[in-house]
Amino acid sequence: MVKYLIYPFILVLGIGTHLFILNSQLIPLDYIPMATFFVILPSIIFLESVSPHNREWLENKRDFKKDIFLTLGLLPMITFGIKEVLLFLNTHFKLYSIGDHWSFIGQFMFAFFFSEFLFYWYHRFSHHNKFLRKLHSVHHGAEKVYWANSGTFHYLDMFFQFLLYFMPIFLFRVSMEVATLILSLSAITGVLEHSNINYRTSIINYFFNTAELHHKHHSKNKLEANSNFGKVTVIFDVLFKTYLR
């Protein structure tokens, strides 16, 4: 029973942390997703050590420094750069800003599912296009799947992924409250899907891309690897028949 509570507990902890920081105005909005990530991280590291999905992965620490640099260093820098470029384009070319006209729910639904849609097709295409597959092989070349290599990508692959994912969020300038919520969800579920934790997610697997699904995506079996391409959600995998449980 405890295994079924781990994912919802960390998910709720992360969302609760996001909302608490947002309402208390402790830090600028831009930093809430990173703060949320660091609040849930100790729980994930602890659970990986006491209840690992694969105990052998605990012993292989060869790539730890590289993984930390990419996940906690390069990825946030690329994220910040892409955000600034997209906001610049919106401001100087007077593109439509949905944050000025749409409700919170409307903005969230539009930006979240548009971002997930673009990411799904880029990720799926990167498994079939020769050039993109070579870039993406950096991520799939890891000998283990754990929290610290959730951001281990070739820098170009990282750039393309997040440029597409952030495009609906920042190019159409949703409110910062909506933008930070989507980015916090991405950070929470991203580290959870790569976590080396022995948890079960049952019905949650039909919406969120959990570690149970993402471990299949990292399989050496080609059929399994060409599945579960979603970032936060697997709804497009279900719709386009690439879902594998």
Largest separation between any pair of C-alpha atoms in the chain: 54
Supply the pLDDT for residue 160: 96
> Alpha-carbon distance 150 to 180, whole Å?
19
Supply the pLDDT for residue 104: 95
pLDDT tens profile 68-110: 999 999 999 999 999 999 988 888 887 788 988 899 999 999 9
The structure's pTM equals: 0.94
Supply the pLDDT for residue 142: 82
pLDDT tens profile 172-221: 989 999 999 999 999 999 999 999 999 999 999 999 999 999 999 999 89
pLDDT tens profile 123-154: 999 999 999 999 999 999 888 899 999 999 99
| DSSP for residue 147 | G
Q: Which residues contact 147 (CB under 8 A, 6 or more apart)?
A: 41, 44, 45, 48, 191, 194, 195, 196
For the record, the structure tokens of 171 come out as 């190019």
The average pLDDT across 213-241 equals 94
